[in-house]
C-alpha cells in the first residue's frame, strides 16, 4: 500500500512546491533564488511530511535545483532512498529527483531541471 501512496504523496509535494513560497529575490547574475517556501517530502516510513527548510535557484538559462530538508520519522532503523519520482519545481515537473532519509530521520530532497 505504501508503494502506491508514494507517487501520490510525491505529486502533492509537487503541487506545494509549485504554488507557495515566502521569500524570493533576484540576484545580479539573473538567477532567481527562493528560500523558506512550503515544501513537502516523504519520511522514512513512506508518509508525507513538510520540510523544515527549503531553497531553490533558477538560472537565467532555465536550469533549476530545489532542495528541502526536515527531521522526519524513520522506523526502519536504516537509511531510506527514493529516486526518480515526479517532483514539482517552480519551473515545472521533473523526475531527476532524489531523497535520502537517514536512519536517524534527517531527510534531504533534491530535484533538478536541466
pLDDT in tens, the chain (114 residues): 555 455 545 545 544 554 444 445 555 578 999 999 999 999 999 999 999 999 999 999 999 999 999 999 999 999 999 999 999 999 999 999 999 999 999 999 999 999
Domain ranges for the chain: 2-113
Q: Rounded CA gap, 32 and 4, in Å? A: 34
Give pLDDT, residue 59.
96
CB neighbourhood size of 17 (10 A): 27
Q: Give the three-state DSSP class for 4.
A: helix
Instruction: Please give the model's pTM, rounded to 2 decimal places.
Output: 0.78
Contact 105, 47 (CB under 8 A): no
Give pLDDT, residue 62.
93
Give pLDDT, residue 66.
98
Q: What angle do CA 39, 54, 72 make, to 5 degrees?
A: 65
Give pLDDT, residue 60.
93
Give pLDDT, residue 10.
54
Give pLDDT, residue 68.
98
Give pLDDT, residue 19.
42
Residue found by looking up cell 524513520 in the block: 74
Distances (CA, A) of 44 to 26, 39, 92, 104: 35, 16, 26, 9
Amino acid at each position: 500500500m505504501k508503494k502506491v501512496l508514494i507517487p501520490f504523496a510525491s505529486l502533492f509535494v509537487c503541487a506545494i512546491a509549485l504554488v507557495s513560497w515566502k521569500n524570493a529575490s533576484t540576484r545580479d547574475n539573473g538567477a532567481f533564488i527562493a528560500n523558506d517556501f512550503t515544501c513537502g517530502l516523504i519520511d522514512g516510513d513512506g508518509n508525507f511530511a513538510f520540510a523544515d527548510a527549503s531553497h531553490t535557484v533558477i538560472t537565467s538559462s532555465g536550469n533549476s535545483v530545489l532542495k528541502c530538508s526536515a527531521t522526519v520519522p524513520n522506523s526502519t532503523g536504516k537509511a531510506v532512498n527514493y529516486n526518480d519520482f515526479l517532483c514539482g519545481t517552480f519551473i515545472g515537473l521533473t523526475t531527476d529527483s532524489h531523497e535520502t532519509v537517514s536512519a536517524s530521520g534527517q531527510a534531504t530532497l533534491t530535484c533538478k531541471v536541466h
